[in-house]
Amino acid sequence: MNGTAQGPLLYIRSRALPLTTAALAGIVLIAAWAADWLQDHFDHTGRVPVLVLAPLLASAAISTGMHAHTAELDRTAVRPWWPRRLLHLLTLTVCATGALALAVPGHPEAFGAPGMVRNMLGATGVAAGSAALIGARLSWLPMTVYSGAVYLAAPRTPGGAAAVWAWPMQPGPQGAAWAVAVAAYVAGGALLVVRGARPEPA
């Protein structure tokens, strides 16, 4: 096998991409079932837990999958690894976001596909930045704590200042919530792509 093919294969093996992909598929299936069940028994607002929890779980799967089992090899590689990290992050984000958006059809103006896309971007950005700063294994923790606090403290009325600090709990069209989520994805993703996940003991 030539060196050109070895690089991507080594990256896939070292990041356990098949396992991450399987975890994301399971999360999407559970989210679709839960969203459908909640809407049948309540209404579209009943899908809020899915819009918060599904992106949280998916972002955790993506960020923990960034753990480098071969950190020393990565640092001594001839070619830079940041293009692979960028492709890794973008591919999983696009696939997971698209699939989760399809899991909550209908009522896009409220807690539907746009809200799912926004929350997926924001959660993934926070988790990616956390992987670069504290390590991939604990990258799920900051967003989990934040989401739990926001879920309990967010006001019932959307908009206002809550659209900024409680963006995961906002309906889809809230512009301020989108701005925060996109900024989190760009900043966190860039940090991870440039620095990689923080090295951790084996």
So what's the pLDDT on residue 72?
A: 55
What are the angstrom distances between the C-alpha of 143 and each of 14, 18, 39, 63, 72? 24, 24, 26, 11, 28
CA-to-CA distance for 129 and 132, rounded, in angstroms?
5
What the block records as the tokens of 28 is 């999407």
Per-residue 3-state assignment (H helix, E strand, C coil) for 79-99 = CCCHHHHHHHHHHHHHHHHHH
This prediction's pTM: 0.87
77-125 tens-digit pLDDT? 556 778 888 999 999 999 999 999 998 876 666 778 999 999 999 999 9
Contact between 170 and 162 under an 8 Å Cβ cutoff? The reply is yes
118-131 tens-digit pLDDT? 999 999 999 999 99
CA-to-CA distance for 170 and 175, rounded, in angstroms?
10
What the block records as the tokens of 74 is 């990565």
So what's the pLDDT on residue 1?
A: 45
- Residue whose C-alpha is closest to residue 191's, from 69, 60, 85, 35: 85
- Which residue would you say has higher pLDDT here, 15 or 16? 16
So what's the pLDDT on residue 120?
A: 97
Determine if residue 154 is left, alpha or beta; phi over 0 gives left, psi from -120 to 50 gives alpha, anything else beta. Answer: beta
